[in-house]
Structure 1
Amino acid sequence: MDIPGLPARRAALNLIDAVLRRGETLDQAASAALSRVRGDNDRALARAIAGEVLRWRADLDALIDSATRQPLPEDAKPRAVLEIMLAQVLRLETPAHAVIATGLPLLSGGPRRLAHGVFSTLTKREVTLPEVPTLPERAAQRWGAFGDAVAAGLAVPPPLDLALRDPGQTVEWAERLGGVSLMPGHVRIERGEQVSTLPGYGEGAWWVQDLAASLPARLLGKPAEGQGMMRVLDLCAAPGGKTMQLAAAGWQVTALDNAGRRIERLKENLERTGLKAEAIKADVFKWEPEEAFDAILLDAPCTATGTCRRHPDVLHRVGERQIAEMAEIQQAMLARASGWLKPGGRLVYAVCSLERAEGEVQARGLDAAGGLTPVPVTEGELPAGLSPDGEGRVRTDPGMLAEAGGLDGFYIARWRKD
C-alpha cells in the first residue's frame, strides 16, 4: 500500500546519504534521489528535510544519543531516519503522527522499534534545538572563533536576492515585489515564491543573485567615460549574474566558462534580460585572448563554503584536501589572468569561500608577485553595515547583516596593473 509522503522521505534519506557517504552536492544528488518523487511540492519537501538535517545534524545527533543506552553508529540507518524525523518535528513543524507514519516504514524489524522508541522518548521530553546550529567538527576546527559568526547565519534558510538590470528603478521594483533594498540595484524578497512567476521575470528586469555575490562586479566599477567602449573579461562567468551586471553597467563583456551547459544557461539569461556579451566555452588554462583587457573579474572556482546557508552540504563535504586543490587552481588562474590586463587595468578576484587559503592567502600571494598595485575598497562602495578589512579587502560571512536576512560568505580583493 502506498503511503502518502513516503517517497519524499525516502528521497530525503537518499540525498543525505549521497552527501555524507559519497561527497556529492545536494544538486548533484537530486536527479537520482528525486526521480521517483511526484509533484513539485513533494520534491521541495525532500530537499527541505535534507537541508535541515545537514544544517542541524550535530544537534540532532546529540538529541538521539541522549535517548539511547549506547550511541548508534554514525552511519547506521536508524540514526539517519531519526535525524529526518526529528528535523521535521523540530524545524518543519510536521505533526508527530505524520512523521511516524512516513518515517518508520523506511526501516524494518528491530530498527523500526528502536527508532519509534527513541522518537517517542524525545517528543515526550519536548526537546528543542539550540538557537544556533552546532558546526560539524571539521568546519569548527578550521574556522575557530570565526565559526561562531558563520553558525549564527545558518539557523534559517536565506531570503531571495534579486539584482536589477536598471539600478535606477530600485524603489519601483522593491514596491512591486514587496521586498526591501539594501543598496541600489538590489531587492530582497521572502523565499518560497516560484521565481518565473514574479513580476519582471519575463521582461528580464532582474535576475537572482545573492547580495554578496553582486559585490565583485560592483567593485570593478563602470567603464571610464570618454575612452570609447571598454572591454572586460568575466572569467568562470556562468551562469551569468556578474556578466549581466557588467553588461548593464556599460562594459563590452567577454564571458568565459569551460562548462557547455552553464554557458547555454548564461546565454539564456542574456536573452531574457536583453543584455549583450560574448560568451565563450573554453578552458582558462588553454585559451588566449587576442588583445589585453581594460578590466578582468575572476570569480574563481572554490570550495563554496561561503554558500553554506543555502547549500548546507558544504559543511560536511569540504575538508583540507579540497581546499588545497582549489587553492592551487586559484593561484594558477590569478597568475594567468593578471597577464591579460592592459597597463592601468583593474583586476577583481573573488571566491564564495570562507577559507583563508582561498581568500587572504591568495591575495597576499599576488601582492608579493609584483606588477599589480592593490586598490583598497572603501566603505562607501559596500552596503550599509559592511566594511572592508584593514587591507582594503572585503570578507563577508553568513552572520553579517543577520537582522536583514544575512548574506553569503565571500572574499574580494582588487588591484590595478602597473
Structure 2
Amino acid sequence: MDIPGFPARRAALTLIDAVLRRGETLDQAASSALGRVKGDADRALARAIASEVLRWRRDLDALIDSATAQVLPADAKPRAVLEIMLAQVLRLDTPPHAVIATGLPLLAGGPRRLAHGVFSTLMKRGVSLPQAPGLPDAAAARWGERAGAIAAGLAEPPPLDLTLRDPAETDLWAERLGGVSLLPGHLRLPRGAAVEGLAGFGEGAWWVQDLAAGLPVRLLGEGRGRRVLDLCAAPGGKTLQLAAAGWDVTALDIAGRRIQRLRDNLARTSLHAEVVQADALAWEPPAPFDAILLDAPCTATGTCRRHPDVLHRIGARQIADMVPLQQRLLDRAARWLNPGGTLVYAVCSLEPDEGVGQAARVRLSPDPILATELPAGLAPTGDGWLLTDPGMLSEAGGLDGFFVARWCR
C-alpha cells in the first residue's frame, strides 16, 4: 500500500503482536518486523510507536473502552490499531489527520468505521493520559509498595548515559558533549542522540551504559593489577569498566554473538581483557580470583524504562525459570574466590526472588555497601544492599532498576 508512513505503522503493529502474542522482546522482533521499512527515521518511528503503546497500554485501553458500546476483545486487531493511533496523538504529537490516514489502512477488509468512530469520539472529548502509566496487574502486585514510584519513573523514555574510559576527563567530555555528570566517569545526554556520531565514539573515550548498570563495578574499587572474573560478561560494559579501573580481567560468556560485541568494544576502547567463551556452569578457572562480578542472567524487569515489553512478557513462570540458574551461578562463583576476595552480585531486575531472595542464601561474609560509594540521592538498605528503581533520581532523569549485593571470603 503506497501511503507515506504506512509501512512504519504496519511494522509497529507487527512488533506489538510479537511481544503480546509470542512473548518476544522488541529487539528480537525488530529484525523481521522492520525489514520492509525503508529509512532510519521510519524504522525509529515504528519502534517508538510500539514502545509507547506497550508503556501506556493499560491507559490507552481504558480510553478505548470508554468509547465503545461493547468491550473489544483484548487481542482484537481493532484494539491494537486504536492503541497505535492514540499513542501517536497523545505521546508522539502526530496530527490526527496523519494518524487516520496511516492507521485505518491497517484494518483493510476489517471494521474501519468502528475504529474511525472510536478515535473521532476520543479526539472530540480532548482526552489525555495520566501523569504516570498504569502497570499491568501482575507487575503491580509483584512490586507492591514500590509500584507507584516505579510507574512514575516510566512516564518518559530514559536519557542516554555514558561511562567514560578515564574518569579524570569527566569535565572535559561534559563540555564537549554538552552533558551533565552525576558522578565522576559518568555523563548523561538527552535521548535521541546518534551514538556513533558523537565525539569520542571512534576513539573509544566512552561507552553507553545506564547509570545503575555502572554501579556494581564501582563497588569493587581500583584493580591495581589484581585478577577479576566478569561472569556473564557480554556485551561488555562492565568488562570495560573493570579494565579501565586497572583490573586483570577474565571476561566469560556463553553467547558467541554477544562475545563478538564484547571484543569489538574492547578494540574500540583500546582496553584489554582475556575473553573466554564457555558455559559458566561447566567451566572451571585455572586459579581463583581476587574479585568476581556476577551480573547474572535475569528477567531484566528493571530495564522497563527503555524496554517496556518486559511489563507484558515477564511473569511468575519466567521468574521461576531464572532463580535456579542464578543460585547455581552464585554457588560456583563463591567457590572461585581467593581468601579475602570480593564477590559482587547484580541483576537488572525488580523481582525480590532474583535479588533479596538470592542474597539471603549466600554463605559468605557480608561486605555492606556504603552510602559514600553511591551517587547523591541513593542509599543502601539496612542490610547493606543496593536497590534501585526507575522512580529514583527522577529529577535527574532516573535510572534502571537493579539489585546489588557484596560479600567477601
TM-score band w.r.t. shorter chain: over 0.9
The yes-or-no answer on 1:219 pairing with 2:219 is yes
Give the equivalent residue in structure 2 for 1:297.
293
What amino acid is aligned across from residue 302 of structure 2 in structure 1?
A: G
Task: From 376, 379, 382, give the equivalent of 2:374.
Answer: 382
What is the rounded CA distance, in whole Å, between the counterparts of 2:221 and 2:367 in structure 1? 12
Q: Spell out, residue by residue over 1:144-168, the C-alpha distance to the aligned partner (whole angstroms, 9 max, x if none).
A: 2211111011000000000000000
Counterpart AA for 1:386:
L
1:257: which partner in 2?
Answer: 253
Which position in structure 2 is the counterpart of 1:416?
408
The alpha carbon displacement at 1:223 in A equals 2.4
Structure 2: gaps (5+ residues) = none
Matches within 5 A, 1:103-142: 103-109=103-109, 111-142=111-142
Q: Does 2:314 align with 1:318?
A: yes
Task: Give the corresponding residue for 2:7.
Answer: 7
Q: Distance in 2 between matches of 1:209 and 1:193?
A: 14
* SS of alignment partner, residue 297 of structure 1: strand
Aligned residues: 409
The residue identity in structure 2 corresponding to 1:172 is L
**Equivalent residue for 1:83?**
83
For residues 46 and 255 of structure 2, what CA distance do their matches in structure 1 show? 28
Q: Distance in 2 between matches of 1:155 and 1:334?
A: 34
Deviations 1:229-259 (A, max 9, x none): 3100000100100000000000000000000
Partner of 2:383: 391
Name the counterpart of 1:341: 337
How big is the shift at 1:108? 2.8
Q: Which residue of 2 aligns with 1:29?
A: 29
Q: Determine the C-alpha separation between the residues in 2 that align with 1:323 and 1:361.
A: 12
Which residue number in structure 1 is paired with residue 273 of structure 2?
277
Q: What does residue 235 of structure 2 align with?
A: 239
User: For residues 147 and 101 of structure 2, what CA distance do their matches in structure 1 show?
Assistant: 37
Aligned position for 2:60: 60
Matched to 1:196, the amino acid is E
What CA distance in whole angstroms lies between the structure 2 residues aligned with 1:305 and 1:33?
Answer: 23
Which structure 2 residues correspond to residues 398-413 of structure 1 after superposition, within 5 A?
Answer: 398-413=390-405
Q: Which residue of 2 aligns with 1:47?
A: 47
- CA distances 1:327-369 after superposition (whole Å, capped 9, x unpaired): 1110110001110000000000000000000000100011xxx
The residue matched to 1:256 in structure 2 has which SS? Answer: strand
Q: Distance in 1 between matches of 2:358 and 2:159?
A: 30
Percent of pairs identical after alignment? 74
Give the superposition deviation at 1:110: 5.0
The AA in structure 2 aligned to 1:232 is: V
Match of 1:400, as an amino acid?
A: M
Paired position in structure 2 for 1:266:
262
Amino acid at match of 2:389: D
- 1:223 and 1:92 map into 2 onto residues whose CA distance is 46
Quote the Cα distance in structure 2 between the aligned partners of 1:108 and 1:222: 61
1:76 Cα deviation from its structure 2 partner:
0.1
Q: What's the counterpart of residue 172 of structure 2?
A: 172
CA distance in 1, matches of 2:142, 2:281: 30
